[in-house]
């Protein structure tokens, strides 16, 4: 990220690019939270549906879907 | 501690690895108030050490720093340039009193794990990790509502711009859970689990060394005992590194949460 900012503007990073550094650190530390959260929300939903419908496949499906959604969210927030 | 533990297990002839009981400390002496335990003593001692250190460093500051003031200034500059300014930005200096005391308080509490006789990192009891994390969490909620408004906070948190509307319904619960509920949890557990595991590892290797070299010395077991002693020294060095790193990360995340509350657009 810092390198991209440097090549774009052709100069060394100044205090302004601190926000790049911050974005990077924030991303690095919020990814586990997002992944956990995605698995918990949609895994939990799958678990509830499993109990309601008497099935057993929706919990693992929900966990995977939640994981995928969380990865997408991380990509959208920090990846571009 | 370990000796006592092994004496308790003396009935058996087999080595017993230390378990969670090495974290259980009753009142300091018979008849002491039930809250006055080794962990609370260590926390109180940490407060006194941190206050005393900064009092010694900055009560009579000189233009050309010497001795304790020098160390204090290095610590201050480290937290300011590595934590406050990168994470919060130009107004980061305003948060230095909070961040500096958080960093040093947690650092000293952690380092108590390798101080002889004391040898217990206070945050290996999860309560002493929860309280600082809860302080940061309340501060984050307060600042977010103050600077973004209650509606604005949830809007910035749950609806990052540039997504199709139907995706928001799917993604907003993930954002909400991760920021409002999981964040203080991971913040506290990261510190607690590192201190807990580190203390257990050192205790394990030290008791291996004690058992096979002193308690039950046999030609076959002595190699294992030597390995245990060597590893407990190595792990102690590694723990000093982890203890400093975790204090840094805890402060870094606190600053990151404060910065996110103040400038949600970044």
Q: Does residue A19 form part of some domain? A: no
Q: Which residues contact A56 (CB under 8 A, 6 or more apart)?
A: A50
- Predicted pLDDT at B4: 53
Cα-based angle B33, B36, B40 (whole degrees, multiple of 5): 160
Q: How far is B196 from chain A (nearest CA, A)?
A: 20
- Predicted pLDDT at A14: 46
Give the SS3 label for residue A17. helix
Quick one: pLDDT band at residue A4, thresholds 50, 70, 90? very low
Q: How far is B60 from chain A (nearest CA, A)?
A: 32
- Predicted pLDDT at B12: 64
Contact B69, B57 (CB under 8 A): yes
Subunit contact A22:B266, Cβ cutoff 8 A: yes
Domain range enclosing A41: 31-80
pLDDT of residue A6 exceeding 80, the answer is no
Q: Does residue A12 form part of some domain? A: no
Q: Does A32 touch chain B (CB under 8 A)?
A: yes
- Crossing angle of helices B96-111 and B68-79, rounded to 10°: 110
Q: How many CA atoms lie within 13 A of B226 on its CB side?
A: 5
Count of structural domains, chain A: 1
Domain range enclosing B134: 2-262
Taking one residue from A and the other from B, the number of pairs with CB-CB distance under 8 angstroms is 64
- Predicted pLDDT at B2: 52
- Residue A66 with chain B: CB contacts under 8 Å: 174
Count of structural domains, chain B: 1
What phi and psi values does residue B218 have, to the nearest 5 degrees? -135, 155
pLDDT of residue A67 exceeding 60, the answer is yes
Q: Does residue A20 form part of some domain? A: no
Q: Does residue A58 form part of some domain? A: yes
Q: Does residue A48 form part of some domain? A: yes
- What stretches in chain B show pLDDT beneath 70? 1-12, 265-266
Q: Does residue A1 form part of some domain? A: no
Q: Which residues contact A61 (CB under 8 A, 6 or more apart)?
A: A46
Q: Does residue A76 form part of some domain? A: yes
Q: How far is A62 from chain B (nearest CA, A)?
A: 12
What phi and psi values does residue B33 have, to the nearest 5 degrees? -55, 145
């Amino acid at each position: 990220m810092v390198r991209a900012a440097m090549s774009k503007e052709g100069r060394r990073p100044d205090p302004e690019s601190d926000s790049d550094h911050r974005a990077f650190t924030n991303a690095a530390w919020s990814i586990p939270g997002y992944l956990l959260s995605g698995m918990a929300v949609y895994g939990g939903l799958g678990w509830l549906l499993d109990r309601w419908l008497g099935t057993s496949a929706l919990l693992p499906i929900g966990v995977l879907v939640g994981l995928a959604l969380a990865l997408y969210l991380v990509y959208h927030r920090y990846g571009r | 501690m370990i000796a006592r533990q092994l004496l308790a297990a003396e009935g058996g002839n087999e080595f017993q690895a230390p378990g969670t009981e090495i974290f259980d400390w009753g009142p300091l002496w018979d008849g002491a108030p039930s809250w006055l335990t080794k962990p609370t003593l260590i926390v109180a001692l940490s407060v006194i050490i941190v206050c005393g250190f900064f009092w010694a460093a900055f009560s009579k500051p000189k233009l050309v720093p010497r001795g304790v003031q020098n160390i204090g200034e290095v610590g201050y500059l480290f937290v300011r340039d590595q934590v406050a300014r990168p994470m919060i930005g130009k107004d980061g200096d305003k948060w230095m009193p909070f961040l500096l005391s958080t960093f040093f308080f947690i650092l000293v509490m952690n380092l108590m794990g390798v101080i002889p006789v004391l040898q217990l990192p206070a945050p290996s009891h999860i309560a002493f990790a929860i309280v600082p994390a809860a302080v940061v969490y309340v501060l984050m909620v307060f600042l977010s509502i103050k600077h973004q408004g209650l509606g604005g906070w949830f809007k910035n948190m749950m609806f990052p711009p540039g997504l199709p509307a139907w995706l928001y319904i799917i993604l907003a619960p993930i954002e909400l859970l991760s920021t409002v509920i999981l964040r203080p949890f991971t913040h506290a557990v990261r510190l607690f689990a590192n201190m807990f595991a580190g203390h257990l590892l050192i205790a394990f290797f030290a008791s291996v060394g004690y058992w096979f070299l002193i308690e039950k010395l046999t030609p076959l077991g002595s190699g294992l005992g030597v390995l245990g002693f060597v590893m407990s020294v190595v792990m102690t060095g590694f723990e000093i590194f982890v203890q400093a790193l975790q204090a840094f990360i805890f402060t870094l995340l606190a600053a990151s949460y404060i910065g996110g509350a103040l400038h949600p657009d970044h």
